[in-house]
Structure 1
Amino acid sequence: MNLSALQTRVARDIVAYVRQEQFEEGHHLTELGLAKVLNTSRSPVKIAMQFLAEQGMLTYDRNRGFFLALSAKDMAGFAQSLFEEAEDPLYLQIASMRLQRKLPEQFAETDLMRLFDVTRATLRVVLMRIQQEGWIEQRAGQGWQFLPIIDSVQAYEESYTFRAIIEPAALLAPTFMVDAEALSRCRRQQEYIARGGYLTMTPRELFEANAQFHETLATFSGNRFHLQTVRRLDGLRRLVEYQQASQRTPRKEHAEEHLEILALLEAGDRLAAADRMRRHLEHARQHKVLSGLFITGMATDTELT
């Protein structure tokens, strides 16, 4: 079964959720329940569950629905395969070359068709996905144009500096309101990571858990522009961090810092939570930027001058 980009993401989210909750073999999963937890519609969930059944993770009973064929603790290999090998090779090629600035800022579809030896239909599917992710747009006349992304050390640092301004501010917004159920779900996820989940989670799972934490708190702000901005930045960071070598020790520390912020919000101390968020982002910036932990092949400031 060939999945769309959305269906693939939902399939990965289902696997991550099952592993986070540590469900046992035989656990019953429902379309409605997963759609609610993953904040998506039932249609992509249904297709994703059918795909996971084909892959052997789920079993299906016509009268009772879907059940886990594996326990969460036995899914490490399955998750690795799904998260690391199911990506579209053409998408990865374009992303890698874009990060290394080996593609022109503006181009025609025929240029990439020749470069990658693919049909227009195949290329179009990938370009539509990239457009949805926000790092490319169609030109008013003809062709396409890449938008600014995090493709250098300087750009990475700028993104963290900007986040340190907007994310603490979101926690202090006058419209801020905690969703207790979403916060509880977020806390369980971060507790799982901190207690050892980071040792077996794939880089994609770790990144998505991190993104979900920050986007959940942006949702609490009640300000659509806070949420839109955080999601946009997360989309740009995916290009870098999906391909970044796994650095698992700070992942534990970051999860612990996330838990401190959540505890302060539960206690109603938004001012302290905002200050802790600022220090958390500064810590992450120092680790990522100052220690030079970047993906292999990403342009450096020297290379860009």
Structure 2
Amino acid sequence: MNEVASAPELTSLQQRVAREIVALVRRDNRVAGDHLPEIQLAQHIGTSRSPIQVALRHLAQLGVLQQDTNRGFFLSVDAKDWDGSVASLLSTDDPLYLRIAEDRQSELLPDEVTEAELMRRYGVARSTLRKVLSRISEEGWIEQSMGHGWRFLSLIDSPDAYEESYLFRQSIEPGAILGPSFNFVPAELKQLRREQQRIVDGGFQTMTPIELFEANSHFHETIAQWGHNRFVLQSVRRINQLRRLVEYRQATKRGPRHTQAAEHLAILDAIERQDFMQAANLMRAHLNGARRGKLQDSSVFSQAA
């Protein structure tokens, strides 16, 4: 695939939108010729059409989309071949991002920091720093305080925190499946099955850590949404935000991802059969197995990880 090096730099919002478009296209394994309607993308991502249009033009300049003046944007390259600078939109390899993440997990950064302090520590301009802080804010582990100050939020980044989070999830996620309001959406179930099958069929070896994490989060959040209990859904989403950084590290260990995706498929099969008791039991066993596996791998919680 040919890359276009002259593509303009995107704002933080436009980067996020482009990243989500790439993740969506790769997750659905779309093929050349598929249409990407701007309105549907805006609704899915939760933004206006303006950043959608900028992101689509950016992807067109990178050579993976083509624009039809009257009909919009279409894939010119199969999603499986979206590599190079396009796939890098999903990467977490921004050096400043990684340094802040490592320093925070190693407790080298306090709970509250100022932009001036961070600029001195990392030797970067304010504009560069703010782009990274905006991205971290979108991921849910920092928030802006008064003036130029920022406050780091709690993460699930210790064995005790992981133990507590999984025990909590074992109580609410299977319970949502057994709840009186649970009602799955066949089209969404089909999409989840396609995503998880892609991982089983080799994606666990080739997908980026972010893609693996997002596919996992999408699976659990969608099932929670089918339960039609806002508190369960909010809790699952919040836990996913809090465990993001540790999950990125664990996504480098590829074997467990294949097993987890296979277990996801078994849960979906039970839901489709409307055997909700079996689905809930499989979900509980799945979460318990994941809990044991993560707690046994204590290296991801160490400062040297």
TM-score by length of 1: 0.84
- Cα distance, 1:150 vs. partner? 2.0
Residues 175 and 221 of structure 1 are in contact (CA less than 8 Å); yes or no, is this contact kept in structure 2?
yes
- Once residues 254 and 198 of structure 2 are traced to their aligned partners in structure 1, the CA distance between those partners, rounded to angstroms, is 14
Q: How does 1:59-74 map to 2 (within 5 A)?
A: 59-74=66-81
Match of 1:25 in 2: 32
Amino acid at match of 2:20: D
Residues 143 and 152 of structure 2 are in contact (CA less than 8 Å); yes or no, is this contact kept in structure 1?
yes
- Cα distance, 1:295 vs. partner? 6.5
- Once residues 14 and 182 of structure 1 are traced to their aligned partners in structure 2, the CA distance between those partners, rounded to angstroms, is 18
Number of residue pairs aligned between Structure 1 and Structure 2: 298
- Once residues 20 and 144 of structure 2 are traced to their aligned partners in structure 1, the CA distance between those partners, rounded to angstroms, is 30
Matched, 1:283 2:289: yes
Question: 1:163-211 CA deviation, whole Å, 9 max, x = no partner?
Answer: 2222222222332221222222111111222122222211111111111
Moved more, 241-250 or 283-292: 241-250
Amino acid at match of 1:74: D
Moved more, 61-70 or 138-147: 138-147
Change (3 A) 1:248 1:76: farther
Match of 2:108 in 1: 102
* Root mean square deviation, CA, Å: 2.8
Picking from 247, 267, 278, the partner of 1:272 is 278
Question: 1:131-170 CA deviation, whole Å, 9 max, x = no partner?
Answer: 4443334568994432321222332333222222222222
Residues 137 and 147 of structure 1 are in contact (CA less than 8 Å); yes or no, is this contact kept in structure 2?
yes
Residues 157 and 301 of structure 2 are in contact (CA less than 8 Å); yes or no, is this contact kept in structure 1?
no
Residues 271 and 279 of structure 2 are in contact (CA less than 8 Å); yes or no, is this contact kept in structure 1?
yes
Match of 2:171 in 1: 165
Picking from 150, 162, 166, the partner of 1:156 is 162
Match of 1:261 in 2: 267
Moved more, 112-121 or 172-181: 112-121
Structure 1: any 5+ residue segments left out of the alignment?
300-305
- Once residues 49 and 129 of structure 1 are traced to their aligned partners in structure 2, the CA distance between those partners, rounded to angstroms, is 19
- Once residues 97 and 286 of structure 2 are traced to their aligned partners in structure 1, the CA distance between those partners, rounded to angstroms, is 32
TM-score by length of 2: 0.84
Question: 1:1-48 CA deviation, whole Å, 9 max, x = no partner?
Answer: 333444333323332333343333333332234445556654443222
- Once residues 132 and 18 of structure 1 are traced to their aligned partners in structure 2, the CA distance between those partners, rounded to angstroms, is 21
Match of 1:250 in 2: 256
Match of 1:240 in 2: 246
- Cα distance, 1:257 vs. partner? 0.7
User: What is the SS of the residue equivalent to 2:91?
Assistant: helix
User: What is the SS of the residue equivalent to 2:184?
Assistant: coil
Match of 2:3 in 1: none
- Once residues 95 and 220 of structure 1 are traced to their aligned partners in structure 2, the CA distance between those partners, rounded to angstroms, is 33
Residues 251 and 257 of structure 2 are in contact (CA less than 8 Å); yes or no, is this contact kept in structure 1?
no
- Once residues 100 and 229 of structure 2 are traced to their aligned partners in structure 1, the CA distance between those partners, rounded to angstroms, is 34
Amino acid at match of 1:49: L
User: What is the SS of the residue equivalent to 1:196?
Assistant: helix
- Once residues 198 and 97 of structure 2 are traced to their aligned partners in structure 1, the CA distance between those partners, rounded to angstroms, is 31
Match of 2:230 in 1: 224
Match of 1:82 in 2: 89
Amino acid at match of 1:274: A
Amino acid at match of 1:21: D
- Once residues 50 and 275 of structure 1 are traced to their aligned partners in structure 2, the CA distance between those partners, rounded to angstroms, is 46
Amino acid at match of 1:247: K
Picking from 10, 18, 29, the partner of 2:17 is 10
